[in-house]
Structure 1
Amino acid sequence: MKKIIISTVAVSALLFTVTSCKTDFDTDVKDIQVSKGSADFSKYVALGNSLTSGYRDGALYIDGQNESYPSMLAGQMKLVGGGEFKQPLMGDNNGGLLLPIGGGATAQIQDTKLYIKSFVDGAPDIGPINDNKAANLVSNILKGPFNNMGVPGAKVAHLLAPKYGDIAGIPGKTANPYFVRFASSANASVIEDFANQNPTFFSLWIGNNDALLYALAGADNSIETLTPPAQFKTYYDMLISKIEATKAKGVIANIPSVTSIPSLTTIPTNPLTAAVLGKGNVAAGEAAIDDLNKNVYGPLSQILTALGAGDRIKPLSKTAANPLLIKDESIPNLGTQIAAAAAASGNPTLVMLSAYLGATYGQARQAKSGDLIPLTTKAAIGTVEPLPAPIPASLGARGIAYPFADKYVLIPSEIKEINDAIDAYNVTIKAAATAKGYAFVDANAKLKLLAGDSGISWDGVKYTAKFVSGGAFSLDGVHLTGRGYAVIANEFINAINATYKSSLPQVNPNNYSGVTLP
């Protein structure tokens, strides 16, 4: 069972923080008679990815779907003639997906949702529900059409792709299991199923995964790719063109900075204390530090200092928190020099390991401020990298003695690459809204406020982007809680009212669910 124990969250702050009665949604129209303005909400259809579907806690499940922001919007639209809003609901509140693989067998392709199982030393112990046993078969096709067409995992190009709902394409990743469940046919594209409903109003929040998946993979191109901005513009403009052909009015949102979400800001760069290294036994941890300093950190520090790169690796402390050991592909590779220095040291152990030391630590350094550690990396700290004999097995502890690979960490140059791409994506999105006269939601600005120290408030309840305790983000650190989705719903309502002179009332975030405590 996958576990995540976060040691930086105070139990006393887990639910929400009460502040003054100031509300940061000062464009509410609750005291004005509701009106649809120039909009027609009779057939509202939402396009997007997991953020549109109501995905949260690492899974898609019924209660989360019922608190999706499009569902909230549809509820307010009904006050002024909005119609039925149908969602492709999962079969339970566990989430997860099973794919038939023949002979009555199935393969689990999506995990069940996360929950807080208990508290360990005041920190939440987080793991998948129901022992991570999914029960939802992808092959159980739902009868549509559906108003919520949020597809978890979708990028902009995916909404245009034919056969994105073909179950045969799941293994090769040309199809999406969530869309398979509610596509009108195996040949359908998301945008075709959208257009065939003849919507009168739409919302579009797409593009997050074009950067997010790459960021969560530590900017490792072998795992995920970052959509080039020019390609993003081509696909986004094509998508807008197909939406425009329906004659529907609507609202589109830009993309938040993915490098400020809890999934990338919660784990510190220096989690290695004597207690952690000793798994609760400080004396054992101190002994481990002595061993590491003798066999790894000490010799490498001396060699790197002689090479003028002494800031890369320093000996570990027994009393302070120590940084993770990572590989940084942006710095010069000193592997040849390290190997030569070790071979010439006269130390039999270093001489024996000289080739290994050069190959392994040439671009190694300790993590520092400015690096980001994905939430999922915590579970990998100390896991073993298999090493050939005669290399001591103890040198294979990832992030401790063996440098974390690219996929485990984001370095500053990668963070800049991602944020530059998002900035370019957002220029495309804003230009589309302006050119077509659609309402525009600056979701990036709102989530930056949420990520700030002050957060935002509603009726005296403060929401921030703090993992668990902030109340707005769910247990996966990427997707929102019901309360967080309500914050976003109000931004959509504000934009709709401003553009179409409607007066949809805002929702009350405090009426929705946050993080569930054990």
Structure 2
Amino acid sequence: MKNLKKYIPLVAMSISLAACNYEFPETPTVDPTSGGADFSKMVVLGDGIAAGFMDGALYNRGQRNSFAVQLAEQMKAINGGEFNVPDINSGNGFFGFGPNNIPLGRLILRTSNGSTAPAPIGQGELPGPYSGDKAALNNFSVPNMTLGLALIPQTGGPDVPQNPAYNPFYARFASNLGTSTPVGDAAAALANGGTFFTLWLGSSDVLGYAVGGASNPSILTSEGDFTGRYSAVLGALLQASPEAKGAVANIPNLNVLPYFNLVPWNALPLDAQTAAFVNSNFAEYNGGLQQLEAMGAITAEERALRTVEFQAGQNGFLMSDEALTDLTQFGLPSIRQSNSSDKATLPLSQALGQSVNDNPQLIRGVSFPVEDSFVLTSSEQLEIQNSINLFNSIIEGAVQANSERLVLVDVNDLLDRVLAGQVNSGGQSLTASIIPPNGGFSVDGIHPNGRAHAFVANEFINSINAKWGSTIPLLNPNAVVGNDLPIQ
């Protein structure tokens, strides 16, 4: 197995780029009126999307192009006031740490060896404290914030190992570190003359579980916790300003996100010689499965599912699957090859085919099974989608219970239509991909890019206008740049 690694190249997503440009037609505007709502002071509470988190980082351009900022700008045409965000003051943001513990900046599309894949732009900056007037803020959205984190002071600190709730993005603008909460700060801003708010929380309560391959069940919010926490968050905003109206968004479906669709299930390329060599190493394992089938320990269907057989060309990768029958008493692991029902996560593009712990005998996806954190099985996908459906029904019920003051913004439906190719502006479509110029997701494959945020803002505007008879002018999404074109 020691020479196998040279046959397994680093797997990257091949992205076909044709006629990439940003010369889109403009969208006409209408004469605005405020209708039955007051937009003189809008307060926004949400997670990374509302904060403008894009490309795996919070950085200047992402903040400026968030739907919240774009929506507030359109409201100024009626009676909308200033909209202040906790400026990050970072051109590249912070994605993670590289060699020598150097901070790396946001993701970009980079082309190498004929394929294009996300990669850090270069050096980044850790988020520093907000130096502006915290009392004047309008946007209290925090990347990676669940409903539970929105309600507890530990989210703001202290930053110690025994405080897993700590979020540096909130700590940088919290009104009182270790005492205040994101919900409390937003409610205080509403109480201080607030007239309108948007709430878009809940996605992180299920997405954090999904992006980790459903490997940590403890971070998936339960139905009871979601119900209670959502009621507490929404109630705090409604009570802070009894006359304020609000727009509430729901959670997108799992299958819309490129993060789970960019790495194909059969992403492992092997030549005939390598496939034959690997198969010889699994001959004893496959024989053991046949014996266990004959004993009645497993069915013929499970034996076929667990059989490992590579071939020349593209292959399903070797992976762990805890849902398989436990055969450890017979000395057989719970492994199989991936199939079309599995969804690989984006980080697998960098891990597949690489040695584990620099051991040339252990090649991830070939001789070493891909870990649970890199893959969603069909049962895990169903579990996640069921949670999304349940959480969305809770959100919808909360809006209906306060229908005089609230409107539901069905972003879930919007993105489903994007996936179906049914959303466009001026004849230029928005796609559920990261491919410029029409791709609507930023390079991290999870968060919308600036152009998609304009479509989201328009969805808010259409819902608000229909509810209260306002005529907030729509944005021209084609005037907002999406993802940058790839660089070498």
Name the residue aligned to 2:310. 316
Q: Which one is further off, 474-483 or 163-172?
A: 163-172
Question: What is the identity, as a one-letter code, of the residue corresponding to 1:233?
Answer: T
Name the residue aligned to 1:30. 29
The verdict on how the C-alpha distance between 1:323 and 1:4 changes in structure 2, with shifts beyond 3 A counting, is closer
Does residue 405 in structure 1 map to residue 371 in structure 2? yes
Q: CA deviation at 1:514?
A: 1.0
Name the residue aligned to 2:134. 144
Does structure 2 conserve the Cα–Cα contact (< 8 Å) formed by 1:9 and 1:467? no
Does structure 2 conserve the Cα–Cα contact (< 8 Å) formed by 1:165 and 1:176? yes
Instruction: Write the deviation string for residues 460-497 of structure 1: whole angstroms up to 9, x where unpaired.
Output: 11111023244201100001111111111111111111
The verdict on how the C-alpha distance between 1:254 and 1:98 changes in structure 2, with shifts beyond 3 A counting, is closer
Alpha-carbon separation, structure 2, partners of 1:512 and 1:442:
22
The SS at the match of 2:140 is: strand
Name the residue aligned to 1:467. 434
Name the residue aligned to 1:190. 182
Q: Equivalent of 1:480, from 448, 461, 477?
A: 448
The verdict on how the C-alpha distance between 1:14 and 1:215 changes in structure 2, with shifts beyond 3 A counting, is farther
Alpha-carbon separation, structure 1, partners of 2:10 and 2:246:
40
Does structure 2 conserve the Cα–Cα contact (< 8 Å) formed by 1:170 and 1:176? no
Name the residue aligned to 1:342. none
Does structure 2 conserve the Cα–Cα contact (< 8 Å) formed by 1:273 and 1:322? yes
Unaligned residue ranges in structure 2 (runs of 5+): 1-8, 294-299
The verdict on how the C-alpha distance between 1:305 and 1:98 changes in structure 2, with shifts beyond 3 A counting, is closer
Name the residue aligned to 2:228. 234
Alpha-carbon separation, structure 1, partners of 2:389 and 2:380:
14
Does structure 1 conserve the Cα–Cα contact (< 8 Å) formed by 2:51 and 2:139? yes
Name the residue aligned to 1:266. 262
Q: Equivalent of 2:68, from 42, 67, 70?
A: 70
Name the residue aligned to 1:204. 199
Q: CA deviation at 1:253?
A: 0.6
Q: Equivalent of 1:456, from 383, 404, 423?
A: 423
Q: CA deviation at 1:436?
A: 1.1
Question: What is the identity, as a one-letter code, of the residue corresponding to 1:59?
Answer: A
Alpha-carbon separation, structure 1, partners of 2:433 and 2:401:
36
Name the residue aligned to 1:429. 395
Q: CA deviation at 1:183?
A: 1.1
Alpha-carbon separation, structure 2, partners of 1:125 and 1:97:
15
Q: CA deviation at 1:170?
A: 7.5
Alpha-carbon separation, structure 2, partners of 1:484 and 1:171:
38
Q: Equivalent of 2:253, from 226, 243, 257?
A: 257
The verdict on how the C-alpha distance between 1:16 and 1:472 changes in structure 2, with shifts beyond 3 A counting, is farther
Q: Equivalent of 1:154, from 108, 120, 145?
A: 145
The verdict on how the C-alpha distance between 1:465 and 1:432 changes in structure 2, with shifts beyond 3 A counting, is same
Name the residue aligned to 1:43. 41
Instruction: Write the deviation string for residues 49-93 of structure 1: whole angstroms up to 9, x where unpaired.
Output: 000011111101001110000111101110111110111111221
Alpha-carbon separation, structure 1, partners of 2:95 and 2:365:
32
The verdict on how the C-alpha distance between 1:52 and 1:111 changes in structure 2, with shifts beyond 3 A counting, is farther
Does residue 287 in structure 1 map to residue 273 in structure 2? yes
Question: What is the identity, as a one-letter code, of the residue corresponding to 1:456?
Answer: V
Q: CA deviation at 1:144?
A: 1.5
The SS at the match of 1:375 is: coil
The SS at the match of 2:285 is: helix
Name the residue aligned to 1:11. 17
Question: What is the identity, as a one-letter code, of the residue corresponding to 1:176?
Answer: N
The SS at the match of 1:232 is: helix
Q: CA deviation at 1:15?
A: 5.7
Does structure 1 conserve the Cα–Cα contact (< 8 Å) formed by 2:57 and 2:95? no
Unaligned residue ranges in structure 1 (runs of 5+): 100-105, 275-284, 340-357, 388-392
Alpha-carbon separation, structure 1, partners of 2:95 and 2:268:
36
How does the TM-score come out when normalised to structure 2?
A: 0.87
Counterparts of residues 54-65 of structure 1 (less than 5 Å): 54-65=52-63
Does structure 2 conserve the Cα–Cα contact (< 8 Å) formed by 1:301 and 1:314? yes
The SS at the match of 1:64 is: helix
Question: What is the identity, as a one-letter code, of the residue corresponding to 1:371?
Answer: D
Does structure 2 conserve the Cα–Cα contact (< 8 Å) formed by 1:69 and 1:486? yes
Does structure 1 conserve the Cα–Cα contact (< 8 Å) formed by 2:11 and 2:267? no
The verdict on how the C-alpha distance between 1:191 and 1:401 changes in structure 2, with shifts beyond 3 A counting, is same
Alpha-carbon separation, structure 2, partners of 1:139 and 1:293:
55
Name the residue aligned to 1:219. 214
The SS at the match of 2:38 is: coil
Does structure 2 conserve the Cα–Cα contact (< 8 Å) formed by 1:156 and 1:232? yes
Alpha-carbon separation, structure 2, partners of 1:183 and 1:158:
13
Q: Which one is further off, 159-168 or 484-493?
A: 159-168
Alpha-carbon separation, structure 2, partners of 1:14 and 1:72:
24
How does the TM-score come out when normalised to structure 1?
A: 0.82
Name the residue aligned to 1:344. none
Alpha-carbon separation, structure 2, partners of 1:14 and 1:398:
35
The verdict on how the C-alpha distance between 1:172 and 1:98 changes in structure 2, with shifts beyond 3 A counting, is farther
Alpha-carbon separation, structure 2, partners of 1:15 and 1:217:
34
Name the residue aligned to 2:106. 113
Question: What is the identity, as a one-letter code, of the residue corresponding to 1:329?
Answer: E
Give aligned-pair identity as a percent: 31
Counterparts of residues 351-366 of structure 1 (less than 5 Å): 358=332, 362-366=333-337
Name the residue aligned to 1:278. none
The verdict on how the C-alpha distance between 1:436 and 1:491 changes in structure 2, with shifts beyond 3 A counting, is same
Name the residue aligned to 2:297. none
The SS at the match of 2:398 is: helix
Name the residue aligned to 2:79. 81
Instruction: Write the deviation string for residues 225-266 of structure 1: whole angstroms up to 9, x where unpaired.
Output: 110111101000111111110222110011011343000011
Does structure 1 conserve the Cα–Cα contact (< 8 Å) formed by 2:106 and 2:124? no
Tell me the number of residue pairs that the alignment of Structure 1 and Structure 2 aligns.
457
The verdict on how the C-alpha distance between 1:93 and 1:48 changes in structure 2, with shifts beyond 3 A counting, is same
Instruction: Write the deviation string for residues 308-358 of structure 1: whole angstroms up to 9, x where unpaired.
Output: 30332242111x311011111112122333x3xxxxxxxxxxxxxxxxxx2
Question: What is the identity, as a one-letter code, of the residue corresponding to 1:503?
Answer: T
Q: CA deviation at 1:117?
A: 2.9
Q: CA deviation at 1:17?
A: 11
